[in-house]
């Protein structure tokens, strides 16, 4: 089944790609402008408020721009998938950055999973802070008990894929 607006999204991506034919790699400002246009077009569907975050970063292995976004609303999973599809056609890889509320739930689940595997008590210190320069959420925490080095390593491993940096306070 074709979703409303999907033809328009494909047409928009096609126009964007055609207008950039022959260009090696977009400049960062061009990538951000194009990303904003794609988000504006996709947001015409109700149920999700999309926002772009930070500056695009060039993935030199794929020559694609990495652009962070967040979404609030019940339709965000579907719209996020659509955004990623049209982004790929335009040489942009969109990735979803958790917002404040999503982040709190995610780090709570990560802490719970680590506590099940290690005899280490982990407590968060303060609120997570977003760093625009590194495009990372920074979460400070205390750890006490046995196996805390291993627990810290696991917590940091889990956070890495979501661009969450856990910083142990000693």
Has residue 164 been placed in a domain?
yes
Spatial separation of the C-alpha atoms in residues 150 and 117, rounded to whole Å: 10
Task: Mark which of 70, 96, 122 sits at the end of a domain.
Answer: 96
Same domain, 61 and 127: no
Same domain, 83 and 112: no
Q: Could you tell me how many residues make up the chain?
A: 170
Domains contained in the chain, number: 2
| Stretch 29-58: mean pLDDT | 88
Q: Does the pLDDT at position 21 exceed 80?
A: no
Percent of the chain's residues with pLDDT above 90? 42
Q: Does the pLDDT at position 12 exceed 90?
A: no
What pLDDT band is residue 24 in, cutting at 50, 70 and 90? Answer: low
Same domain, 35 and 109: no
Same domain, 86 and 107: no
Has residue 1 been placed in a domain?
no
Cβ within 8 Å of residue 29, ≥6 positions away? none
Return mean pLDDT, the chain.
Answer: 83
Same domain, 76 and 125: no
Residue 89 is part of which domain span? 6-96
| Stretch 140-156: mean pLDDT | 95
Has residue 85 been placed in a domain?
yes
Taking a C-beta distance cutoff of 8 angstroms, is the pair 164, 106 a contact?
yes
């Amino acid at each position: 089944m074709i979703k409303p607006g999907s033809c328009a999204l494909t047409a928009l991506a096609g126009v964007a790609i055609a207008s950039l034919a022959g260009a090696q790699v977009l400049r960062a400002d061009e990538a951000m402008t194009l990303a904003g246009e794609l988000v504006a077009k996709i947001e015409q569907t109700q149920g999700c408020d999309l926002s772009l975050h930070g500056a695009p970063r060039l993935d030199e292995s794929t020559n694609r721009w990495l652009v962070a976004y967040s979404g609030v609303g019940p339709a965000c999973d579907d719209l996020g998938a659509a955004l990623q599809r049209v982004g790929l056609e335009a040489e942009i890889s969109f990735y979803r950055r958790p917002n404040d509320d999503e982040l709190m739930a995610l780090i709570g689940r990560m802490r719970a999973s680590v506590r099940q595997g290690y005899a280490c008590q982990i407590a968060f210190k303060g609120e997570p802070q977003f760093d625009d320069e590194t495009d990372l959420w920074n979460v400070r925490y205390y750890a006490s008990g046995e196996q805390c080095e291993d627990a810290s390593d696991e917590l940091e491993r889990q956070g890495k894929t979501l661009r969450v940096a856990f910083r142990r306070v000693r």
